[in-house]
Structure 1
């Protein structure tokens, strides 16, 4: 009974507090509803935004393939839909198109922007490779070698790793580091990467033709007769 009375008193106290603070509660509930609606709308808009970004990227790719648009079309997608997966892909495509056109400054800008905004993406290795290619194309071979090696050593499972290893071998050749270059080509042959492996075979064979000492067996050591142990003839029987 006492328990029922206690619960009743608690109920009436809560009811009285509710009536006293009715206006504040209405405002609070209203604010909560607004927040929930905004959150739901944000999720909806995020989904819609991703769809629209994908459609915009598809249009840019089609226009580019038809020769109706340049890299600026991809830059436009990245600018209009920042933070989306399509925007990241657009930056990579813009960088590749600028690179093909010989505009290395803009190409590097796009690859760097991708790494800044989408550094944790699974496609980050492609941006690092693009940056390395720009460095090599602009004569910064030491920096390019460092960037290629970063891919080989830190991103060995990414699809650009074989291309990066091939580039490392090529730059080693340019530096006269022929044994290290040969090791890179041999590694590609062991892993087997189709067309890349074929290129590695061609470069390895050319390197060996130019430097046959890389595969010559070490000279055999022959013991001279003067250093040979003396042979003791058996004594004749008595």
Structure 2
């Protein structure tokens, strides 16, 4: 039985038919793609131009008013974020520690994901330290040390606590911080069981060792007063008690010739 063959179709004819049926839709899609590409290019040009202008303005800033202008005019640019930090540094140099902390707090609140947030927090702690607010400064140092332990700011926050703890006579806390640095921030080297510790010293471990050597040694507990006069403890079970050896009585000295008797009369001489 002969097999019926399907009629062959020309591909060019099919493409032409497809174009005639969907030419409007295809043209609209192409126009949208072109408009999107042009819009993205224009947006990138605008962003680059804006960032460049903000950077130029930041480079010319010389006083707090100039930095504030960059912050106000270009808030969403890298230069605008940097202006906060530079303004806070200028305020700190002018001994305006409270204003500097207010500026740094604005930076932290507005750019919480920036890489310089832990640096800003450490600067706030340093300003509090300059204002004599030791407890608040220690609190920030401790928060940074915990939250950013795997960054450069973690060990820096730890070692910054040591002078404050020493100044407040919290020697044991300072020693604990130094030991924590030695535990966490020493680069591991080749370790062989039964040999000495060959871990490489980092700058943080070296500073911790220096601070640790400057601390007073831990005080030993003093004995209670009168401990030396307490009676000796009774011997344990199975141990015979110690008995003092008896001492011989000391004989009285014989009276010498010419010595006076108790009654005041001269002592008689012995007969020959």
Q: Same fold (TM over 0.5)?
A: yes
- Structure with the higher helix share, 1 or 2: 1
Q: CA deviation at 1:7?
A: 5.3
Q: Deviations over 1:75-121 (max 9, x none)?
A: 33333333333332221121122223233443223212322333222
Structure 1 length normalisation: TM-score?
Answer: 0.64
Secondary structure of the structure 2 residue equivalent to 1:125:
helix
Aligned equivalent of 1:127, options 120, 123, 130: 120
Q: Rate the CA distance shift 1:3–1:154 in 2: closer, same or farther, 3 A.
A: farther
Does 2:146 match 1:153? yes
Q: Unaligned 5+ residue runs, structure 1?
A: 61-68, 209-213, 233-238
State TM-score, norm by structure 2: 0.58
1:70 corresponding residue in structure 2: 63
Q: 2: CA distance between counterparts of 1:219 and 1:11?
A: 102
Give 1:124 deviation, angstroms. Answer: 1.5
Tell me, in whole angstroms, the C-alpha distance in 2 between the residues paired with 1:186 and 1:25: 70
Higher Rg of the two aligned structures: 2
Gaps of 5+ in 2: 183-200, 224-231, 243-272
Is residue 207 of structure 2 the alignment partner of residue 197 of structure 1?
A: yes
Compare 35-44 and 113-122 and name the one that shifted more.
113-122
Give the Cα separation in 1 of the matches to 2:103 and 2:7: 71
| TM-align CA RMSD | 4.1
- In structure 1, distance between residues paired with 2:171 and 2:51: 49
Matches within 5 A, 1:25-40: 26=27, 28-40=29-41
CA–CA distance in 2 between the matches of 1:104 and 1:6? 83
Q: Alpha carbons of 1:216 and 1:33: their partners in 2 closer, same or farther (altered >3 Å)?
A: same
Larger RCO: 1 or 2 (CA < 8 Å, sep 6+): 1
DSSP 3-state at the match of 2:76: coil
User: Paired residue for 1:116, among 84, 102, 109?
Assistant: 109
Q: 2:79: which partner in 1?
A: 86
CA contact (8 A) 1:50 1:86 kept: yes
Distance 1:128 1:94 in 2: 15
Q: Does 1:107 align with 2:108?
A: no
